[in-house]
Amino acid sequence: MDSMEKINFSGGEPFIHDRGEYLGKLVKFCKAELQLPSVSIVSNGSLIREKWFQNYGEYLDILAISCDSFDEQVNILIGRGQGKKNHVENLQKLRMWCRNYKVAFKINSVINRFNVEEDMTEQIKALNPVRWKVFQCLLIEGENTGEDALREAERFVISDEEFERFLERHKEVSCLVPESNQKMKDSYLILDEYMRFLNCRKGRKDPSKSILDVGVEEAIKFSGFDEKMFLKRGGKYIWSKTDLKLDW
């Protein structure tokens, strides 16, 4: 079996536990001990402090910040309001820290009913991320749709045509990487907090047995991972900051 090349920490919000210290130790371990080519984090950015970059920035390749809108009222509607903090101002501060501490900066946006008509071209160009991942809002049974759902996302859903129109409006943005529902569903290897792969093939997250109990080779058979779709969606890219050759 080939060795692992990339790990991405996401949540929930990964900086909640121990104010990001635990996450920092994981990031450092993955880079310094495991020597993985790429270590990345997805965060909403609200809990990140400059001190974290001072302690752990050198071990992190990519920081992806979730930003669904550059309109604060829309962020509040979506549920991404950050109280007294202005999400957009915070984004600019994080961009500066990434530059200062040599961490590649990425933006993730989920396109939904409330932001589908927005034009984000100028703001994205100004922030100049290495990659702007644009996801079509996806329903997952038990997570954001269905009887036992943690939250209801039906009212957020947009059609494929609406998603395409959003992409067309942003075609000038060279760093844009689109991800439709079809591309997203089976093209990730997701491990939960119990170290179980989550299979999304049936529109929900079905867990495998834990890799701690049965090992990776056995558990991965139940992951539902579609390698062809992973490659088709551009899942393999230059993901190590040493190879990105960024002009910080």
> What are the start-end ranges of the E strands in 44-156?
62-66, 104-111, 131-136
pLDDT in tens, the chain (248 residues): 468 999 999 988 999 999 999 999 999 999 999 999 999 999 999 999 999 999 999 999 999 999 999 998 898 888 776 666 688 889 999 999 999 999 999 999 999 999 999 999 999 999 999 999 999 986 654 444 455 544 456 788 889 999 999 999 999 999 999 987 766 667 789 999 999 999 877 777 789 999 999 999 999 999 989 888 888 888 888 889 989 888 76
Give domain 6-185's CATH superfamily: Aldolase class I (3.20.20.70)
pLDDT of residue 143: 47
- Left, alpha or beta for 60 (phi > 0: left; psi -120 to 50: alpha)? beta
| pTM given for the model | 0.87
Distance from C-alpha of 58 to C-alpha of 80, rounded to nearest angstrom: 28
Distance from C-alpha of 187 to C-alpha of 233, rounded to nearest angstrom: 8
Ordered DSSP codes for 190-219: -B-TTSEEEE-TTSB-EEEEEHHHH-HHHH
Helix (H) or strand (E) holding 7: strand 6-9
